[in-house]
Structure 1
Amino acid sequence: MKAVVIGGKGHIGTYLCPMLVKNGFEVVSITRGNSQPYEDDYAWKDVESVFLDRNKCSNFEEQVISMNPDIIIDLVNFNIEDTKKMVEAIKKSNVSHYLYCSSCWAHGMAEILPFNKDDMNKVPLDEYGKDKFASEMYLKEEYRKNGFPATIVMPGQISGPGWTIINPWGNTSMRVIQDIADGKEIALPNFGMEIIHHVHGYDVAQVFMNAITHRNVSLGESFDAEAENSITLYGYAKHLYEFFGHEPKIKFLGWNEWCEYEGNKEECEHTYYHIIRSGTFSIEKEKRLLEYKPKYTNLETIDLAIQSYIDRGLISVKR
């Protein structure tokens, strides 16, 4: 069978394309530039790489279909109109499975925990989440009415070595990690009880892979791609102090005071949208239907990412 992965060398595709090859698939990776996967794998020699930019190609969907795929995994679709165009193109083809990458951002603020992945009344907080949720709703309706072969996967905060992860402030500033590495005191917003959802890119790819191999039970369904557990801002900061061999030095500030302390308006907004959606996820459905077994805990994923920072010279450690 032939699988086309749109965004094949990104956070998820880095692991998914080799998985597909090792499971006997003919694989095409579509990227908009000459990017390289985050981790090397011998299986990449058997992946066909195609450069195609969805935003610059007026007949993107038709070009994808012309590759004669059996399966399309759409990892970089951020617009409901692009989802509609892809669905219409697939209807005229022999594609038997379309896997759409949504996001935990499609959830709004948590009410009852854990989040209900099948909730059709979610209220996303920003345009990114609203577009993702609109695509989810559209695909579910297409499945219900027309039997369209869609599966939805909602990753948490994809993390691991090689890219920037969400830090204990709920943003991507290096300052807080460097301060912790130096043993300095840091401040967290509120009481540090908001929740962050790190998940290794490998495990997100595993959910997609298992949804393909368990097609009969994954069609028309939504799945979370998460680690077994999540972590509070406080627990995260405390863990990093221990990682760097220091005693925790953590204080707490009210939101407005903390934003003044953080000092970067853009990063404060980044924090706001991460922590206002605090909540927990259950992966029991994924285990039951897809036989999903996360390879990495959230702490292992965090440690790999932080070690990558050190190895790349982004964080300095005093010896």
Structure 2
Amino acid sequence: MRIVVIGGSGHIGTFLVPRLVRAGHEVITISRGTRGPYVSSPEWESVRLVTADRERDSTFDDRVVGLAPDVVVDLVCFTLASASALVERLRGEVGHLVHCGSIWRYGVSHRIPITEETGTPPFGEYGIEKDRIARMLKEETASGGLVTTSLHPGHIVGPGWVPINPLGNLDLSVWRTLAAGEPLRIPGLGAEMMHHVHADDVAQAFEVAVSHRSEAAGEDFNAVAPSAITVRGYAEAAAAWFGKRAVLESVSWAEFEETTPKEHAETSWEHLVRSQCASIEKARTRLGYAPRYEPMEAVEESVRWLILHGELTL
């Protein structure tokens, strides 16, 4: 098939595009052209690269249709308006649209693991929009329109970018603290959960959604690692990479905010207040999704890459 991947040089596309090429598909990627994939691969030599800016190009959706794809994979859509416009243009022109959502389409955890049917209502603009998009896509297919599928990754990690750390933020000093065996202040008891997933496992989920069109049609699927991790378990495992024992100091949220830069404190709250653990049973049974990485394996690969490339000094 001819597959157009919107946002093909990002976290997921870095691994998805080579997978699609190896599976025998003709692949065209659309991106702003500001960077290449995070990991090089010989398969990219056979990929057609199209430069376009979705936010600034009023003819973007027409350009997608003009590429005559059988399947469109949309990895960088964040608003209902943008998703709806693309659906309207693809209807009757394309066989399958596969959209990238987020487990933040769910709110705080009440029952775990969270299935595609048991999540609480989302909060925050990002999560609300991702949930609205997923519901719109499901309704579109149910009404006899465009065949769609939405996949909902957890916290994506992999070589080339900074992973969400044990405090639920992107502060690199957290890794240095754990590597040195120094005390790390954690808000609460450290029982909150995060659900990471390696970018290649997310790519696998998209690949099997494309190859199992009839099973994926009109459905939404969580795409995460086989297990989630708690703040405390995450910190202890990370410290052990460096031959140290995690020294964790439980503090209140107010105390945590006093000693944490505002940006990092807000990011920690966004991740930890949700305390999410999502089920992959639906994707496993219907699509054959079989992630290779447990969360700590995926994060360790990412952290080692940062150290090797001088982006994290210990």
Counterpart of 1:204? 202
Partner in structure 2 of residue 9 of structure 1? 9
| Structure 1 ranges of 4+ moved more than 6 A | none
Matches within 5 A, 1:128-207: 128-207=126-205
- Counterpart of 2:262 (choices 243, 262, 265) is 265
Q: Which residue in the other structure is 1:236 paired with?
A: 234
Matched with 2:78 is 78
Task: Name structure 1 gaps, 5 residues minimum.
Answer: none
* 1:122-179 alpha-carbon deviations (Å, 9 max, x no partner): 4211101111111111111111112420001000000011101101110001111111
Structure 2: how far apart are the matches of 1:114 and 1:23? 32
> What SS does the corresponding residue of 2:97 show, helix, strand or coil?
strand
1:106 to 2:105 alignment: yes
Q: How far apart, in 2, do the equivalents of 1:172 and 1:244 lie?
A: 19
Q: Answer whether contact 1:181 1:316 (CA < 8 A) is retained.
A: no
User: What's the CA shift string for 1:161-199, capped at 9, x where partnerless?
Assistant: 110110111000111111111221111110011111110
Q: Which amino acid aligns with 1:223?
A: F
Residues 14-35 of structure 1 deviation map (CA, whole Å, 9 limit, x = unaligned)? 0111111111111001111231
Q: Which amino acid aligns with 2:242?
A: F
How far does residue 313 in structure 1 lie from its aligned partner after superposition? 1.6
Tell me how large the CA RMSD over aligned residues is. 1.1
Q: What CA deviation, in whole Å up to 9, does each residue of 1:240-287 have, x standing for no partner?
A: 11011112211100111111122x112111111101111211111111
Verify: 1:314 aligned to 2:308, yes or no. no
CA distance in 2, matches of 1:206, 1:106: 21
- Aligned AA (2:227): N
Q: Could you tell me whether the CA contact under 8 Å between 2:21 and 2:27 is conserved in 1?
A: yes
Q: State the AA in 2 paired with 1:251.
A: E
CA deviation profile, 1:70-124 (whole Å, cap 9, x unmatched): 000000000111111111101141x1100011101111111122112135x7421
TM normalised by structure 2 equals 0.97
In structure 1, distance between residues paired with 2:313 and 2:32: 33
Aligned length: 314
Q: Which moved more, 1:36-45 or 1:142-151?
A: 142-151
Counterpart secondary structure, 2:9: coil
User: In structure 2, which of residues 205, 208, 211 is the aligned counterpart of residue 213 of structure 1?
Assistant: 211
1:314 Cα shift?
2.6
| Aligned-partner SS, 2:151 | strand
Question: For residue 281 of structure 1, what is the aligned residue in structure 2?
Answer: 278
Q: SS at 2:156's partner residue? A: strand
Give the whole-Å Cα distance in 2 for the aligned partners of 1:278 and 1:123: 14
Aligned-pair identity in percent equals 38
Match of 2:42 in 1: 42
1:90-129 correspondence to structure 2 within 5 Å:
90-93=90-93, 95-119=94-118, 122-129=120-127
Report if the CA contact (8 A) 2:103-2:278 is conserved. Answer: no
Are 2:276 and 1:253 equivalent residues in the alignment?
A: no
TM-score w.r.t. length of structure 1? 0.96
Paired residue secondary structure (2:14): helix
**AA of the residue aligned to 1:203:** D
Counterparts of 1:287 and 1:198, CA distance in 2: 17
| 82-91 or 276-285, which deviates more | 276-285
The residue matched to 2:313 in structure 1 has which SS? coil
Letter in 1 for 2:309: R
Match of 1:296 in 2: 293
CA contact (8 A) 1:155 1:224 kept: yes
Name the counterpart of 2:33.
33
| Cα drift, residue 292 of structure 1 | 1.1
